[in-house]
Each structure stands twice: as C-alpha cells, then as structure tokens.
Amino acid sequence: MTIRARLKQHLISWATASPLAGPPGAGVGTLVLADAAHVPAVTAAGLVGSRTLLLAPDDGTGVLAPAVSYQGSLTEPGDEFSNGQDFFLQTHAYATSPFMTVFGPTIVRVFDQNDFDAFLADADRALAEGVFPEFLITSSVLLADPAALSGAHDPADGPALRLYADRNGQVSTSPTGAVLGTVDDSLDTLTERFARAGHDTAALDAALPAETRAEALRSRPFLARYLEAVTALRSLMARGATGLRVSGFGSRMTPGLAAAGADADLADPTLPIVLYGDKDAYVVAGSRLFAVDRRAAQALECLLATSGVVGDILPADQVGWLAELLARHDLPLPVPVRVPAAAR
C-alpha cells in the first residue's frame, strides 16, 4: 500500500469508525494529535503500536518519530488537512455544507446543536419527500460518526480503532466526543472508560446533550437506514447512476404499497435497499450492488416492507421466484416468509 493510500484509509477510519483493512496489531489504529509535543507521552503510554498511524501537526520544526507530520487541521470547520505533498482533506460543518464548494475529499461533521438540527431536518425531508441532500451523496464526501448520529451499534468503534488528543492532552475517540482520559493513559484504561460512556454516545457527547440526541433518535427509528441509503446513493452516483429514488423514502415502486402503510423495512438498516429510476433498478445488499429488472425490485421491496407477510401485496408465487433469483447471487431471502392463518 502506498503512503497516500494508507493515509486515506486511516483518515476514513478515524472519521467514520470504519474498520481498518489487514490483521489487527498492537496500539491504536489511528491516533491524531493536535499538538506534536504529545508524541513522547502517547508513545510511552503504549498507544502507538505496529499498526498505528500517528499524525502530529508540523509547525515548521518537524515532528518526532514515529509520528507522521501534517499541516492544517482535521477538527476545525472550514479548515483543510494536508500531508505536505499531494493529499488534501477538507472539514465542513454540517449546517454550512450546502453552501460550501467541494474541491476534493471532504469530511462533514456535526459540531453542535445547529448542525444536528440541520441533519435531522434533512433526514425528515428524505423520509417524507424522497429528497436527499446533494452534498451528502457526493462521492467525495463522508459523514463523520454515522453510528452516533443514527443510533446504530458499531462494534468496530473504540479507542483501539481511533483516538484524538486535543492541545491540552485530553483524549477522545472523536473531536466531538466524550473525554476518556489523557495522553498518559493506557489503551486498556481508555477502552474501559469508553465502554462505560456507551458505544453509541461517546463520539458526540462534547457536541450535544446526551438526552437531546437520545430523544431525537427515539422518535426517528429510520435514521440508520437513512444513512445506509445515503451510502448506497453515493456509491451509485460514483458509477454514474443519478436521479435515483430509494424505496420507502418518499415513494415506492409498487402501486398501493405506500398507501397500505407497509414500512417494516425502515427500522432495519441491515436489510437490502432497493433503488430505482424511470427505467433502471438496483439492489444494494451490504457491500454488494446489483442491477435488477423492475419486477424483481418490486417483489423485493414488497417482501421487505411487509416483513415477509404473504398476502395481497406480496403474492406467494412472487416469494419463490424471488428466492430463486437471489440464490443465483448467493443471497438468502432477507426476511422469513410468514403466511397469516386466514390466508392458509
């Protein structure tokens, strides 16, 4: 892996808590320092190991090994990170992102209540109208801390994956996260405190009151699926597929499905996502993407929306045909099929 590719992979992991490729190793996966003076402390504490990418700002005098130097910032809205060569990464605040020009790789972050309110408003509009924010589905843009914003459990996140140390030496998993300790603390100590803080809240505790966030998520069980839909749209846009709609967000392909109130899929982010245009249709299942005909897309959205209940919306003959189609792609039926007693 080239230096540039490794830097990109680690920065994506650090911002989004996505797992790093390759075998696990000692130390933190990615550790970003706001002050290079803390390099000796984090090294002595055992936070730097064989797989660690340690990033420290260079004020012009150089940084101590094993740190890799950077210029700019990864934590200030509107600022830019650079490795001093050919890689640049912008950071935008969520609320201002619709008005910012994206020149290249960009992290959009929720820094405060205003950003969070804007994020929720966009999610609500997507659910009601099927309109997704253009900046968020741009291929070069990633949303920071998606699990914390949606309430999804992320088993990969934690101090072993990513850490940030501010200028005062306080350590958290994210620049907007709960303080877990200092640069002098061991990884075991930080991991124990992270577990006590709560996996789904630790990344945003410094940006939002915990109860405010919790209440917003309780009233929007669709948020995790919304962010999965954002990822699916971004992936398809990168392949040149634009103008797509997402089943369950503002519309359905199958006539009468929305009117029937079938929406069981909206609360489960692990289910496949059906996307469609005027003529084309796609299915995104995990990291896999398929182009399918519209009949298959309609059958799948009915299965997902009804949670597999066979009836007027989901005829029994469609279930068997769909199961055979999915099997050809090594995919099982995503939900168990249920036949109501009255229909037997």
Q: For 151-161, write each residue's pLDDT tens digit.
A: 988 888 999 99
pLDDT, residue 258, reads 85
Q: How far apart are CA 104 and CA 154, in angstroms?
A: 27
Tell me the pTM: 0.94
Report whether 102 contacts 141 (CB < 8 A).
yes
Nearest CA-CA partner of 275 in 303, 256, 300? 300
Q: For 249-299, write each residue's pLDDT tens digit.
A: 999 999 888 888 889 999 999 999 999 999 999 999 988 999 999 999 999
Predicted confidence (pLDDT) at residue 342 exceeds the cutoff of 60: no
Predicted confidence (pLDDT) at residue 340 exceeds the cutoff of 80: no
Query: φ, ψ for residue 280 (rounded to 5)?
Result: -100, 165
First to last CA, the chain: 58
Q: What is the mean pLDDT of the chain?
A: 92
Tell me whether strands 162-165 and 170-172 are parallel, antiparallel or unpaired: antiparallel
Q: How far apart are CA 189 and CA 100, in angstroms?
A: 40
The DSSP element (H or E) to which 302 belongs, if any, is helix 294-305
Could you give the percent of the chain with pLDDT greater than 70?
A: 97
Predicted confidence (pLDDT) at residue 1 exceeds the cutoff of 90: no
pLDDT, residue 59, reads 78
Predicted confidence (pLDDT) at residue 188 exceeds the cutoff of 70: yes
pLDDT, residue 229, reads 98
Q: How far apart are CA 175 and CA 162, in angstroms?
A: 11
Instruction: Give CA separation, 201 vs 45, 110, 147, 196, in Å.
Output: 25, 13, 9, 10
Q: How far is CA 331 from the centre of its chain?
A: 23
